[in-house]
């Protein structure tokens, strides 16, 4: 079955959103994961709990408070308005912000666990050869934590593709701007277009299965550090 133009548009927007969010999550999540894996600060527990919050928080709750924050009267909305950017609610940029927050634990925790699993030995050996902190991080820690980066990237991307509650709350259903695949399926069901919804939903099932097959199969179990609350 050939998908109509509006469905292809939703698929493209979803892939664009997932790619953008995953890249930003890696940039934000890597130093955060490193800090959580290495620090002994009392703040570690509260920060880890905040990172893990989307694992237990209903997506609509997170989306609701994000909508309030991004709205013109909200703190972020007032800031973006003062900068001449306007409100980010019901925009692609707003979806990116929501996706980053909602998928944060799926990227941070695998990388954090990979950093933790490598221990202090490799870093201490590198230090004895004169490697500074930055060199040890980029030439020792990151290569050894590669399985965590791979699984975190895949899980973050797939989790963003499957979002519904958050993106619907802060993005609505604007074709070409915020209507992603999950919202498109909802729209088709609302319109009683069950055959079209079946094809798109079935494609999502196949996609999700392939993602899990890659993570748990090809990469091996050690490439999928467990999702731990506050770890």
Chain length of the chain: 231
Predicted local distance difference test score (pLDDT) of residue 176: 82
Contacts of residue 26, Cβ cutoff 8 Å, sequence gap at least 6: 107, 149, 152, 153, 156
The single-letter DSSP state of residue 16 is: H
Better-predicted residue by pLDDT, 123 or 15: 15
pLDDT digit string (tens) for 167-188?
Answer: 888 988 888 888 898 888 888 8
In CATH terms, 5-37+46-219 corresponds, of 1.10.3720.10, 1.20.1260.10, 2.40.440.10, 3.30.530.20, to: 1.10.3720.10
Predicted local distance difference test score (pLDDT) of residue 99: 94
Cα angle 98, 52, 220 (rounded to 5 degrees) comes to 100
Helices (H), the chain: 5-38, 44-52, 59-70, 75-82, 92-118, 121-128, 133-136, 142-144, 146-161, 165-171, 181-190, 194-213
Predicted local distance difference test score (pLDDT) of residue 230: 41
pLDDT digit string (tens) for 105-164?
Answer: 999 999 999 999 888 888 878 888 778 888 888 888 999 999 899 889 989 998 898 888
Compute the distance between CA of residue 33 and CA of residue 8 in angstroms, rounded to an integer.
35
Predicted local distance difference test score (pLDDT) of residue 93: 92
Compute the distance between CA of residue 52 and CA of residue 95 in angstroms, rounded to an integer.
19
Predicted local distance difference test score (pLDDT) of residue 187: 85
- The rounded mean pLDDT for the chain is 86
Confidence grade of residue 92 (pLDDT, cut at 50, 70, 90): very high
The rounded percent of the chain whose pLDDT value lies above 70 is 92
């Amino acid at each position: 079955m050939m998908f109509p133009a509006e469905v292809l548009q939703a698929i493209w927007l979803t892939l664009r959103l997932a790619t953008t969010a995953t890249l930003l999550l890696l940039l934000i999540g890597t130093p955060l994961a490193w800090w959580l894996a290495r620090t002994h600060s009392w703040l570690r527990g509260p920060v880890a709990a905040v990172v893990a919050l989307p694992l237990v928080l209903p997506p609509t709750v997170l989306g609701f408070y994000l909508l309030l924050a991004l709205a013109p009267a909200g703190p972020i909305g007032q800031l973006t308005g003062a900068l001449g950017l306007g409100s980010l609610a019901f925009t692609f940029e707003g979806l990116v912000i929501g996706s980053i927050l909602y998928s944060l634990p799926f990227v941070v925790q695998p990388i954090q666990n990979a950093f933790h699993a490598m221990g202090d030995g490799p870093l201490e050996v590198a230090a004895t050869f004169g490697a500074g902190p930055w060199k040890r991080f980029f030439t020792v820690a990151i290569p050894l934590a590669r399985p965590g980066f791979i699984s975190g990237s895949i899980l973050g991307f797939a989790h963003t593709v499957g979002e519904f509650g958050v993106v619907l709350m802060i993005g609505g259903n604007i074709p070409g701007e915020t209507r992603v695949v999950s919202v498109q399926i909802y729209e088709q069901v609302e319109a009683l277009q069950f055959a079209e919804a079946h094809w798109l939903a079935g494609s999502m099932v196949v996609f999700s299965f392939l993602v899990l097959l890659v993570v748990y199969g090809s990469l091996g179990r050690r490439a999928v550090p467990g999702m731990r609350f506050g770890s």
